[in-house]
Structure 1
Amino acid sequence: MSARRLSRAHYCMVDEVGPLELRGGGWAPRLDELAEGRGPAVLILVVRESLLEEVCGRWNWQVEAVFEAGSQDIEQAAAAVRACCAQRAAQRKTEVSAGDGSKHGPPDSEPDGNAALSASPARAESGYGNNSGK
């Protein structure tokens, strides 16, 4: 994940964010940069169900969707990812045209928060929702 490539990307997919990253190893340094808004506004993460809340809390990410590996319809998941990318691109375009070109992340309730589109190998914990079957 080079900083140059991330700055031009529409989304970033990381398989997997787990215990190593939560301890500061593995992808943690790049995930820190992404959480600061240096990179794409859409993150697609593979996260174990048992770690979803901790991962989102560590990097202050909001979950937009959770997909269950093995039971999620691939076409529905792809459509959700495309819709999220289009929504974030429109938000960034609005920010730039409004003169806020310095802001890299999407607008949300937290000033430096990124939205996370999360892929989980198991059912989401309550509070995060689940798109399987929709």
Structure 2
Amino acid sequence: MVDITYSPVRELVVHEVVKVEMDDLLRERITPAGNMPLYWCDGVLFSFSSLPMTKKIVDDYIRGTIHWMEVHYSKMKEYAPVAELNDEHYNSVLKIRVIDTSKSDLHRDFAKWLNKSLK
């Protein structure tokens, strides 16, 4: 039988956090290839970008440290599976999928840290 080891993330390093207006957060997820989803956890709607997987970043990851290069967020009290953007440029209502990640320990801890840091 194969041994299975669970090794959760021990540390999240966030290099930049930017609060943006909800419409701007939605707008930035629209790409020519389609709309990228956003994450929601405990009243925070957000996206993040990771650092390129260099040897150093992979070594950190294996040791339990992950890096988010930049987080953009907006407050969203209640979860909704779809966020709508009434965009004049496209002359239509654009829909962006929202993923509820409130069961993720990492995302819950991040939302708690962010909410505490905002006060």
TM beyond 0.5? no
Q: Which structure's CA Rg is the greater one?
A: 2
**Which structure has greater strand proportion?**
2
TM-score scaled by length of structure 1: 0.26
